[in-house]
């Protein structure tokens, strides 16, 4: 089993290639269950999907599950991943709101919210195509270094470097929630197909560790080497340490 790698020249190429992969999935299986990600990386992919919607691609029978959500932010909080998805995708296409799912980071019973999320995923038949980004420390979703391979959806503490990286979306680092609900490594690996996107030189080291390093929780994305149908779609800068090998 090995991860497929596709390298495209620029982040713009990355977004259009990723959007086309998702569009093909939806055209072939209009009732697909898609796993979605947040962060800067997929923003342009969602913009390209919105363009494709304007040109006739319908999402009306698609179901979506997002990977993660901060703990303690209301759904409508501008920094919540719920707001992010509403802005960048849900309001841009004809997705049925009752079929879009996000972990409830504002639940009074977070553990129950995690179990409920796993149940909903199973009831939907699992993810057909999962979109992922990667943190510069190798995290996927909010599975930070040290996470367990058999982990399911759960509450996690964010690594200091993740809080620092994500503080660019908040007024200050102190405003970044210290915890999140995240799909686990086992949750992610249960998807039928996985597409990980990365661009820019600050992802090159993590990408190299994930693809060419040993499989270890020190680099959570390295667990993807165990998946039978995973592709890393990279721009030239994110791939630069691979091509040097």
Decide: is 166 part of the binding site for ligand GLP (CB under 6 A). Answer: yes
Q: Which stretch binds ligand GLP (CB under 6 A): 16-24, 112-120, 127-135, 225-233?
A: 127-135
Decide: is 142 part of the binding site for ligand GLP (CB under 6 A). Answer: yes
Contact 218, 138 (CB under 8 A): yes
Decide: is 19 part of the binding site for ligand GLP (CB under 6 A). Answer: no
Provide the annotated active-site residues: 68, 137, 139, 144
Decide: is 71 part of the binding site for ligand GLP (CB under 6 A). Answer: no
Question: Applying CB under 6 A, which of residues 35, 133, 184, 220 lies at the interface with ligand GLP?
Answer: 133
Nearer to ligand GLP by Cβ, of 94 and 175: the residue is 175
Q: Which stretch binds ligand GLP (CB under 6 A): 93-101, 132-140, 148-156, 208-216?
A: 132-140
Nearer to ligand GLP by Cβ, of 11 and 50: the residue is 11
Question: Applying CB under 6 A, which of residues 18, 59, 68, 233 lies at the interface with ligand GLP?
Answer: 68
Angle at 172 between CA 170 and CA 175, to 5 degrees: 70
Decide: is 184 part of the binding site for ligand GLP (CB under 6 A). Answer: no
For residue 4, the minimal CB distance to ligand GLP (Å) is: 19
Within 39-58, the residues that bind ligand GLP by CB under 6 A are 39-41
Decide: is 209 part of the binding site for ligand GLP (CB under 6 A). Answer: no
Return residues touching ligand GLP (CB under 6 A).
37-41, 67-68, 133-135, 141-142, 162, 166
């Amino acid at each position: 089993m090995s991860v497929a790698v596709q390298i495209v020249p620029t982040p713009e190429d990355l977004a259009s290639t990723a959007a086309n992969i998702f569009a093909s999935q939806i055209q072939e299986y209009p009732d697909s269950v898609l796993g979605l990600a947040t962060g800067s990386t997929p923003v342009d992919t969602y913009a390209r999907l919105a363009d494709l919607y304007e040109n006739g691609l319908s999402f009306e029978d698609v179901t979506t599950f997002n990977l993660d959500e901060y703990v303690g932010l209301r759904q409508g909080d501008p920094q919540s991943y719920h707001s992010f998805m509403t802005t960048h995708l849900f309001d841009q296409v004809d997705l049925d709101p009752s079929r879009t799912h996000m972990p409830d980071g504002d639940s009074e019973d977070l553990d129950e919210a995690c179990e409920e999320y796993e149940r909903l995923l199973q009831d939907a038949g699992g993810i057909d195509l999962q979109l992922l980004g990667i943190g510069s420390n190798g995290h996927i979703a909010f599975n930070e270094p040290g996470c367990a391979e058999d982990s399911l959806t759960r509450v996690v503490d964010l690594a200091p470097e993740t809080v620092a990286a994500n503080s660019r979306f908040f007024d200050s680092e102190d405003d970044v929630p210290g915890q999140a609900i995240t799909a686990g490594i086992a949750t992610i690996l249960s998807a039928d197909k996985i597409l990980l996107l990365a661009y820019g030189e600050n992802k090159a080291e993590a990408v190299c560790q994930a693809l060419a390093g040993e499989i270890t929780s020190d680099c959570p994305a390295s667990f993807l080497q165990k998946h039978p149908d995973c592709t890393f779609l990279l721009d030239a800068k994110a791939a630069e340490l691979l091509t040097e090998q």
